[in-house]
Structure 1
């Protein structure tokens, strides 16, 4: 079914909302610092809630601090949901997360102004602390760690205090869990945070799924010794072994068939002195791909290479996982609805994985999920010069609106004629 609707978002209003929100937490370099639970976050949350109410939504805050704006439908539940987050990294931009929230509000504004009620309610969700612990999305999926110390802030503020600040309640966190009977489908619009769409000259990315992430800590133990008096053939240089590990990770990512990426992102050298042969090296490895089997295969091959490197350099190398997430695949029917929206709006598109984590990853654990990407200039994100043009923001918002309209038809038909 092709999506054909005269409805369209108000581009000026959408982009004005983005600019207005960017004033909260604005940095001298035009970046944005709006950390979760900060005064800036609280101010932004109040502004967004006001916009939701003016758009005809009722607003509530669940125990995890998620803001949930609901625009009523012809039936009480389940809802079609959209949204993202409005908290930022310490020096972020104005589009990451924000676009998904404000485009969702703008879509509801259009429905409200035209006095249109879909069969399903529409929820716009602002997830709490996406850039930190993702506690908002995890609470909805029922995957919150029960130990409150896990969510302690760097400033030592307890999660109990943090949630209380934003209207949540740690003691009732389990009540934030949602199910398929609450949310029929979730669609998140987001800036790509990479350069694929720009390099391909495509306007919209149809996300196939959010990749699996495996992170490991590698510890290399050699023997510290005098840099001047230790002959080269007698050295057990942990950093030389570390250099070979880095090259091995890069080789596996580049030369194994597939679309995987792998990164050595942190490196510590001990004792880190100019006149001492390094005795210990610690590093992290991050491996990502949409295929869980593929990620596991890369990790297994890396372990074999570590054994060879240890033998050749007379060092000991240990590898230990510290983060493992499974991929969350987008629902094919939602992907197709996004494609149909692109076709009806005459926007170019391509399918692609999301290599960054998003709230949608957690929501996809309990209900149907899809994501829409729009380009990020030069692939830059989590930085003050993050940029997506007003036209691109509007295109993404219109695809979101048309996708919601199409999904309302699909899920209404499904409820009437269950498979």
Structure 2
């Protein structure tokens, strides 16, 4: 069979693979717990490795513990096309987050093997290490690892050296895991949306425009504690009143910004936090996300201006310190176009949207062309035992992945 023929994944087999992997680390409530480097993670990796081998892939583990299955191409030395995701979970996760991208990649290779198809490029299916916590696997590939191993020490005290040794990695040789555009021509990841947009707009496939950048700040407001009953309103330096005005300002700036910005004050602490004392101090977090970095900067600049006014009006002192900065990663136009063409070929509706959650694709897109395919998450629920995407939706995403890889194989030179 030629790659010009329309071929499809085996929906039942893909769904069975998802169900079987979900048994490893299964919780009583139906959720899954497969923390990176845990016995459950190791068991799941062994099963996935066996499936990769049975599908005709050569499997290797790099120094970062990434498991990489390679299906040969017609041109052995050509840069690879890559797909994949992760199989580790949050402490009480669902069965689709990450897992779908890995197992769909394996299913695509199974279909190629059954139909005697070899792309021009070799095809890699990658299981990235520890996506849910440190993203160590994809960061090692992009060369963005923190050099101090203490940064990656686990909560139980286990060193990263010991963790990597468990899964076949090697901290001392971590630099060898870094990849380049000359090795990976393009990377395409299938993932559940983890949001409610596709369900709301009633579209079957999401074409990700990019993965948002994320800036976090700590905002501290200092006023003056005093008796709540004896201090007149006009004589107060109420830190909480000032903080509330800051929260409303953040909300208004985000609502009135261009694009798809989101801004959240999620943590809020008040001192001395007593019913009969005027608050003396407030600390709060601010999380700002947008696909364009300049939108994030504009909000921060405008917020600083408003903070100065609020501080003067409330007789308080307000400081705003950055604590995290993650730059956005845009999807490659040609990859987005290939996904759209695949959707039209398969008669599936689609919608362009940003990813507001982080993914391994965000790191891989820093050194090569990147794209992502989303399928709906029922009610937008993720990182929960209630996470659900139907077997039909999973196979629709896998079919788009398959057809898009075939298109990209013709697009990228060898």
Aligned to 1:67: 67
CA positional deviation for 1:245: 1.2
Aligned to 1:253: 254
Question: Secondary structure of 1:219's partner?
Answer: strand
Q: Is the 8 A contact 1:261 1:289 kept in 2?
A: yes
Question: Secondary structure of 2:14's partner?
Answer: helix
CA positional deviation for 1:30: 0.9
Q: Deviations over 1:35-91 (max 9, x none)?
A: 111111111111111111111111111111111011111122311000001111111
Question: Would you say how many aligned residue pairs link Structure 1 and Structure 2?
Answer: 411
TM-score (norm 1): 0.95
Report the RMSD for the aligned CA atoms in angstroms. 1.3
Give, in whole Å, the separation in 1 of the partners of 2:124 and 2:307.
Answer: 49
Q: Deviations over 1:166-189 (max 9, x none)?
A: 111111110000011111110000
Aligned to 1:327: 328
Give, in whole Å, the separation in 1 of the partners of 2:167 and 2:270.
Answer: 41
Q: Is the 8 A contact 1:221 1:316 kept in 2?
A: yes
Unaligned runs of 5+ in 1: none
Q: Is the 8 A contact 2:258 2:295 kept in 1?
A: no
Give, in whole Å, the separation in 2 of the partners of 1:220 and 1:302.
Answer: 14
Aligned to 1:205: 206
Q: Which moved more, 1:242-251 or 1:100-109?
A: 242-251
Give, in whole Å, the separation in 1 of the partners of 2:345 and 2:128.
Answer: 30
Cα distance 1:273–1:41, how it changes in 2: closer, same or farther (>3 A)? farther
Aligned to 1:240: 241
Aligned to 2:37: 37
Question: Secondary structure of 1:265's partner?
Answer: coil
CA positional deviation for 1:4: 5.3
CA positional deviation for 1:263: 0.7
Cα distance 1:4–1:376, how it changes in 2: closer, same or farther (>3 A)? farther
Give, in whole Å, the separation in 2 of the partners of 1:99 and 1:129.
Answer: 16
Is residue 365 from structure 1 mapped to residue 366 from structure 2 by the alignment?
yes
CA positional deviation for 1:281: 1.3
Question: Secondary structure of 1:258's partner?
Answer: coil
Aligned to 2:114: 113
Aligned to 1:390: 391
Q: Which moved more, 1:87-96 or 1:150-159?
A: 150-159
Q: Is the 8 A contact 2:90 2:383 kept in 1?
A: yes
Question: Secondary structure of 2:392's partner?
Answer: helix
Give, in whole Å, the separation in 1 of the partners of 2:382 and 2:218.
Answer: 25
Kindly report which structure 2 residues correspond to 1:107-256, keeping only aligned pairs within 5 A, or say none. 107-256=108-257
Give, in whole Å, the separation in 2 of the partners of 1:130 and 1:145.
Answer: 15
Give, in whole Å, the separation in 2 of the partners of 1:96 and 1:85.
Answer: 8
Cα distance 1:282–1:5, how it changes in 2: closer, same or farther (>3 A)? farther
Q: Which moved more, 1:149-158 or 1:327-336?
A: 149-158
Q: Is the 8 A contact 1:210 1:355 kept in 2?
A: yes
Q: Which moved more, 1:290-299 or 1:101-110?
A: 290-299
Give, in whole Å, the separation in 2 of the partners of 1:4 and 1:269.
Answer: 63
Unaligned runs of 5+ in 2: none
